[in-house]
Amino acid sequence: MKSSKEIFEIIYPVRQELLDFCHAHKRIFLYGAGEWAERVYAYLEHEGITLSGVVATVAQESKFHGFSIMPIAKMSFEEGDGVLLAMKDSYCREVLPVLEKMGMGQDVFCAGTTRSVPNAADYLDGTTGMTLKSGKYFASFDELEKIGAETKTDKAEVHHDYLRKYEFFLQTFRERKMILVEMGVLKGSSLSMWGKYFPQAEVYGIDIDPACKQYQGENRTVWIRDLSLDTTLQEIAELHPTIIVDDASHYWSHQILALFRLFPALTAGGVYIVEDIETSFSAYAGMGCDDAAVSAYDVLKVVAEVVTSREHLRETDLSPQLKKLCNDIEELAAEVDLISFIHGSCILVKR
């Protein structure tokens, strides 16, 4: 299977344009130090591109990955310098005239992840798209739902309505000693739910926010890690979990890389869940999760094709990026005993 770097090179949507821009300039400066800048910085690390500095309109923070943040008003660019913009579109429109006045109009690159992002809650609280009612088949699977309602996780019926379906697949592990990993902790409500439902399990929560450390305790451990890094995925893989739940950033690239790196590390008969894959569709485009040339659903859909057919992928139906991942998809699919899609989530069971 390809390395994370090789997969990333295939799925990053403007990779060649970014590389051409960086190689055409002697020094590269990152403009921005917020959420978008973190994403672009991760891209640059994957590609081995070294920054010369970080600038911002107003330096609200003093440091960004070891760089002192320089206010744009104090910057003096030289011939051969290039600037990567890492911010929302509305801010780009404000910044570009400033850079043009500084003689940098032809040396600016919008790094491919700059788009306006509304409040994510407006997209993920069920108000976008079709309204769905709970079905009857899973009504009797109510233990995990009860605990989830008690801990106020958004996985419960009043929000995503995942838990009755999850219990259908997960109840067999309830009293087992095993490892469960949830990527994305947020307010700790689902981490608490997992700890209560699986009293014999070691439950690990992984999040980049140091504040999430407060949610560990009893059988719950929280790691503060950047899930965009291959080193973090390797740490998780070395745990050899029985259950993995990806409820992290929802960025397509993160979901895809995690699946390829971590599904093989599951124990035999383990379960891998990718949440919020509705963000792979056009109604959620404003969230900015579409940071790759193919979506998480695109990948999972062709995994399902191989699992169903037990044949090689029909390459004539695939995008150029998926064609380059054919062998990796087929290798992963060979380990899948079952793949099931529900509203907003995909569940894979390992052989």
CATH 3.40.50.150 placement within the chain? 142-350
- Rounded to whole angstroms, what are the CA distances from 308 to 59, 180, 278, 326? 53, 27, 22, 16
pTM of the model: 0.78
Q: How far apart are CA 276 and CA 340, in angstroms?
A: 14
Class of the 142-350 domain? alpha beta
Query: Is the Cβ–Cβ distance between 288 and 117 less than 8 Å?
Result: yes
Residue that has been written with the tokens 């993160």 in this structure? 254
CATH 3.40.50.720 placement within the chain? 4-110
Q: How far apart are CA 289 and CA 251, in angstroms?
A: 4
pLDDT at 114: 36
Nearest Cα residue to 163 out of 251, 301, 275, 44: 275
Q: How far apart are CA 139 and CA 163, in angstroms?
A: 10
Tell me the pLDDT of the chain (351 aa) as tens digits. 898 878 878 887 777 888 899 999 999 999 988 877 887 888 888 788 999 999 988 766 688 999 999 998 889 999 999 999 887 666 777 788 889 889 998 899 887 543 333 333 343 444 445 555 667 899 999 999 999 999 999 999 888 899 999 999 999 999 999 999 999 999 999 999 999 999 999 999 999 999 999 999 999 999 999 998 899 999 999 999 999 999 999 989 999 999 999 999 999 999 999 999 998 987 566 566 888 889 999 999 999 999 999 999 988 889 999 999 999 999 999 999 999 999 999 999 999
The listed CATH number (3.40.50.720, 3.30.1380.10, 3.40.920.10, 3.90.280.10) that belongs to domain 4-110: 3.40.50.720
- Rounded to whole angstroms, what are the CA distances from 77 to 69, 108, 306, 350? 15, 12, 52, 53
Q: Which residues pair with 67 in a beta bridge?
A: 64
| Residues present in the chain in total | 351
